[in-house]
Amino acid sequence: MFVSIKIRYFASLKELLGRSDDTLEFDQEMSVTEVWGGVSKIPMPDNTLVAVNMEYVALDHQLVDGDEVAFFPPVTGG
C-alpha cells in the first residue's frame, strides 16, 4: 500500500526547519513520531502539538493515505 501525506509546520517549528510544508510518501504504516524523523534530523521539541486532519492526536497515531499532519510548538502565555 502506497501512502502520501501532507505535512505542515507552524510558528517556531517552521523557522527551525526552514520550510512551511513537506509531502512524504511511504509504503508502510507510520506514526506521527516516525514522520517527524523522516523529515527532520532535528529531534522533535518537547511538548510539540500534533494535529491530523485538524484534530489533535497522540504521537503514536498511525497515518493513512491523504492525511494532513500539522506540527505546532507548545503555546505559552503570560
Whichever domain contains 65, its CATH number is 3.10.20.30
The phi and psi torsions of 28 (rounded to 5 degrees) equal: -145, 165
The phi and psi torsions of 37 (rounded to 5 degrees) equal: -65, -25
Domain extent for 56: 3-72
Task: Look at residue 17 and tell me if it is in a domain.
Answer: yes
Task: Look at residue 78 and tell me if it is in a domain.
Answer: no
Task: Look at residue 8 and tell me if it is in a domain.
Answer: yes
Residue pLDDT tens, the chain, 78 long: 688 999 999 999 999 999 999 999 999 889 999 999 999 999 999 999 999 999 999 999 999 999 999 999 987 655
The type of residue at 28 is Q
In eight-state DSSP terms, residue 52 is E
Structural domain count, the chain: 1
**How much is the pLDDT for 77?**
59
